[in-house]
Structure 1
Amino acid sequence: MERRLAAILAADIVGYSRLMEADEADTLARLKSTRENLIDPKIAAHKGRIVKLMGDGALIEFSSVVDAVGCAVEIQRTMAECNAELPKEKQLEFRIGVNLGDVIVEGQDIYGDGVNVAARLEGLAEPGGVLISGTAFDQVERKLDFEFEFLGEQKLKNIEKPIRLYRAGPRARAASGTVPAKRKRYIEWRRPAVAATALILIAGGVALWKVVGDGSGPPVEVASRERMALPLPDKPSIAVLPFTNISSDAGQEHFADGMTDDLITDLSKLSGLFVIARNSTFVYRGKPVKISQVAEELGVRYVLEGSVRRAGEQVRVNAQLIDALTGGHVWADRFDGNVADIFAVQDIFVAKIVEALKVNLTTTEKTEIARAKPDNIAAKEAFEEWLEPLSPLQRKGHSCRHHFLEKSNRT
């Protein structure tokens, strides 16, 4: 009988039966999209192995408890963003428990107390929350920049000794005050939660939330100049990764790709900025990659990544610019609003990136940045859908692309 020490993550969906009863097809489709676009890539990025899927639950094994807790918190943070604009009855919420313990290995399956504790913790976690055991906490306390809240000891079913419990989550920055915690499931929570605030900028009906790097994630592996495939240019260098489509509709991939294309095109026009070509960055599309890896393979210092969620005429775009040499966020923004405003948002993103990287602009380049884009969303999407199956060589030439859009607008 083989035994080993492993970090175990157990997760389940809150109210799964209710969601299935209300709309089985929609629930399954959204769950499939969430797994493919969000959960599975994060598990892979943290070197996890999916042991089994159990309808509304999952059991995942990690060789490192740092990876396990980091993955759990990242999943919950991303799910909170996705659920923010959905009605309560449509939200997919997870409970997650993480334990570090001894497991028994049988083929590809694992079981034993190490697994049982993780499953019990998942059952005690609040919706959208992460609950970890004392053995997990002891290993990650000084290695992850998260907030850990000690909840006391709890006697778990079929587990001989009481288990120390900790709530894990993104570290809250200083706020104007605190709010009472509403976290009482089976445990009495001991400290009030810290209220986080966001700066809301509203201009011309377009809402932009200023996002400040909050340390909410596992420590970032920084890039090394020595490992870079090419020497860094003598001016700011950037790679724009394909924006991730986190919509329930997989057909919105074209919309996300189109936004990525536009940002690459606009940034490429600036003589004071070195921009990696689309063909080089789109090889990472749909793949879990580290920012440091992208920077080293492409020879750039800065990497822009983001996500797009569209529901009808409403759209949410998250974007963040990361300095691969430090792992820090140089700039980040979030847009919530009407899809008709998306071109204006792209212009704002470009301007903010230029400002953050202190790119020197000529008078002509300033004019180009301010130039209005075609406002026919339907034409843009039609073109992106037509472009999708073409080879990189066939896709070359942004002038043709803009000509198509402008012609469609006139039509």
Structure 2
Amino acid sequence: MRYLFEEYAFDTDRRELYRGAGVVSIAPQVFDLLEYLIRNRERVVSKDDLINAVWKGRIVSDAALTTRLNAVRAAIGDTGEDQRLIKTLPRKGFRFVGPVQELQVPPGEAAADELVEPSQFPPVLPDKPSIAVLPFVNLSSDPEQDYFADGVVEDITMALSRFPWLFVIARNSSFTYKSRAVDVKQIGRELGVRYVLEGSVRKAGNRIRLAGQLIDAETGTHLWAERFEGPIEDMFDLQDDVTSGVVGAIAPKLQHEEIKRARRKPTESLDAYDYYLRGLAKARWSKNANSEALQLFYKAIDLDPHLACAYGMAAWCYTRRKALGWMNNQARESAESIRLARIAVHLGADDPIALCMGGYALAFVAHEFDDAAAFMDRALVVNPNLARAWMLSGWLRVWRGEPDRALEHCARAMRLSPLDPSMYYTTHGAMAYAHFLASRYDIASSCAETAMRDNPTFLLSICISAASNALAGRFEQAQKTVLRALECNPDLHASNLRDLAPFRRAEDFAIFAKALRDAGLPD
């Protein structure tokens, strides 16, 4: 049997490990250990399993086992820190997690020096969503548009590469298909990707039109399509708009498709990232769904203690529990939220989800506003195309008392994700608070109404609507809205209002609380 993974071929009949066409030197016990891990890659193997299989039950120290595992990792270009191929699961065991392709070797196959290189076999799909951005076709006779289209593709490729959960084929590989008529399914097989983005550019008069479409390379199904158009004199601004629009649309679409895949998997074959994806699907606004999501994120953490985004999302679940009055033990659950958030930002220095979710939890629960802003800013540097990070940053600027910056960040979130319903109402809620801080109560009320129309139970929007109407002199409307808030959370009082709205500046909170008291919120 020959196992292919990354650039390696592991031949159990010849008892040889190849990297490309070259043989990797590997000790017999190290070979046996790697073979056992690969053969049993569908499950976690314990220390005792390894000792029984490789050492035939002889007494082996933990240090000896660790030394052999380190040798296995070194042979296949992995490390105990990266754990890209072999994961250590504390108190449970070990698992080979790299994608593997099995190849039956016919009897009497050619000698090792004539071995077919792994690169001649189709690459195995990565263990995360994968995409290739193909060169856009120039449909006009103007060769200048060729350069423009290439620039758009390069920008989109780089922007998508900033999502750590996404595997993006490098531009140089994608551009080998330029001017070639190749079936998308064939491209998916040759590049080892699940999704392909293709498009075209056309000049019509003094305007440029770009069209893009996202395709599932396994089935040929079209998942998304959009057109972008602008005047030719604004070519470079249009290029930026196209990049933002495409990335803002397809990144959530890809994640949605991966969540559907994770849901279809049998429970016994789920790994940490599958549990994380299932948690994302459950992380909604209902109390029960929030609790289910939290348990799924904990399961992901249990399987992979280094999965920073799972810590961030678990902290986010506790943040929602506090905001909506769902906590059973506020002191204990708040402390757990802070613990998870700090691990998220520590492990996820280059993970924008871990940074923005962990950072927001530190602001909302721990009131560590300056640290939260630093983590949020880092998330936006790592991935300036992540709409959720801009939205949460808008809320953070609200709590910090920075209305102009909050509106700026909300506008960026809306531009990146204009069709996401949850993004729409949460961002309009943050805009309502920003206008409230700037004493624009009519505009604040209008933004709040928009948010409430899309989610009638969004408590933050309900409260800012009541407060804005009260300060605008519309007391009857304000009183009706406060009653609506109390229907959503009967335990809401002026005395615990800071749990919902943690304004940093005392004067901001005082104005907000007084307006709600005037509208009928009980002390």
Bigger relative CO (Cα 8 Å, ≥ 6 apart): 1
Q: Report the structure number with the largest CA radius of gyration.
A: 2
| TM more than 0.5 | no
TM category (shorter chain) comes to: 0.3 to 0.5
More strand by share: 1
More helix by share: 2
